[in-house]
């Protein structure tokens, strides 16, 4: 494992976490919970996507920590093409974990009206997972 790759990987993860947290803090200071402005509605989610498993915050903290540990352990043997999607998943997990631990739930603010309210960390996780599925599909095809 090259030290430069490791530093780049974790610098990218850190950058994404900072961006995610910046926007959450911005909207928490700008909007009251439940209030809306354009495509932004501030909410706190103690469950998972679609608000499923409400009040499962502690359970999701443990799951997120387990996923983060798994990604970190897998990093050393990770193929180069998997690093960016895993960085997205790791950054999203850390961003939402920060919310769960310090705020009691995930702060969501992007409201497209046709989809449940979400945040940048959710987007990072979704893009990373879809990317990995795509890579798996390409390998099988």
* 84-109 per-position pLDDT tens digit: 999 999 999 999 999 999 999 999 99
Angle at 90 between CA 85 and CA 93, to 5 degrees: 125
Structural domains in the chain (count): 1
How many residues belong to the chain? 141
Residues 113-140 have pLDDT tens digits of: 999 999 999 999 999 999 999 999 887 6
Positions annotated as catalytic residues are 108, 122
DSSP letter string, 123-137 = HHHHHHHHHHHHHHH
Among 119, 23, 106, CA closest to 60: 106
Looking at per-residue pLDDT, the higher value among 35 and 25 belongs to 25
What is the domain extent for residue 49? Answer: 3-140
- Threshold 0.85, pTM exceeds: yes
* Tens-digit pLDDT profile for residues 44-80: 999 887 677 888 899 999 999 999 999 999 888 889 9
What pLDDT score does 17 carry? 98
């Amino acid at each position: 494992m090259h030290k430069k790759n490791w530093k780049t990987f974790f610098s990218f993860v850190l950058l994404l976490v900072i961006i995610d947290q910046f926007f959450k803090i911005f909207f928490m200071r700008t909007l009251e919970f439940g209030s809306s402005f354009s495509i932004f509605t501030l909410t706190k989610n103690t469950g998972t996507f679609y608000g499923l498993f409400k009040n499962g915050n502690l359970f999701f903290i443990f799951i997120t920590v387990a996923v983060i540990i798994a990604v970190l352990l897998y990093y050393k043997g990770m193929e180069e093409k998997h690093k960016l999607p895993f960085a997205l998943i790791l950054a999203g997990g850390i961003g939402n974990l920060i919310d769960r631990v310090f705020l009691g739930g995930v702060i969501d603010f992007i409201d497209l009206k046709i989809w449940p309210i979400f945040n940048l960390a959710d987007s990072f996780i979704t893009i990373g997972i879809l990317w990995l599925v795509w890579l798996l599909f390409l390998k099988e095809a």
